[in-house]
Amino acid sequence: MEANDVGERQRQAAGDDVSRLIQRTALKDRAAFDQLYARTAAKLYGVCLRILNDRSEAEDALQDVFIKIWRKADSYAVSELNPITWMVAVARHQAIDRIRGRKPRAAELDDVVDVADDGQPDPEAQAIATGQKRKLESCLGELETERAAAVRGAYLDALSYAELAQRHDVPLNTMRTWLRRSLMKLKDCLQR
């Protein structure tokens, strides 16, 4: 038995456990809800933080996410989604709703911005951004071509795992594995 098969079975078992916890939460089982929170809060917080780029706002969003999960756990049963995928979708939508609900800052800033400011970053910021972009492109170049394309599709084009799996003609769980491993390689590369 290969390590990949064992890992895949473990992920499937964990997904089944989360699915059962969601189903028990739909029945308003408080203990199951507490276990569900303990198992998934870190991942869902990461989703909120990635979208909102603010720790405090991500924490508030996470609280709202779990309120929605408590209230709408019964809708998971009819969704046919992987439990984590369903919960990530709830978190993603909550974070995006928070962004949409923000008061437009551009109009406020226009009233106080000096007319001479053309909105362009200063040369130092441009140089830093250019260097970071080159480093990221270099690290993406170290990945296999299909995996680099999948990372770009997921994080630059906002394609879902299902869309990427279909595009690359691989199973959904394989796509998840590709992305997770590719992100770990990118992190290692960027830290060098």
Q: Which domains does the chain have, with CATH numbers?
A: 13-103 (1.10.1740.10), 124-192 (1.10.10.10)
Find out whether 36 and 73 touch, Cβ atoms under 8 Å: no
pLDDT in tens, 109-139: 455 444 444 556 666 666 666 667 787 788 8
pLDDT band at 58 (very low <50, low <70, confident <90, very high): very high
pLDDT in tens, 10-55: 555 555 788 899 889 889 999 999 999 999 999 999 999 999 999 9
User: If you average pLDDT over residues 56-71, what whole number do you get?
Assistant: 92
Question: Is the pTM value of this prediction over 0.75?
Answer: no
**Higher per-residue confidence, 53 vs 140:** 53
Which DSSP category does 78 fall into? T
Find out whether 88 and 42 touch, Cβ atoms under 8 Å: no
Cα–Cα distance for residue pair 133/139, rounded to 1 Å: 10
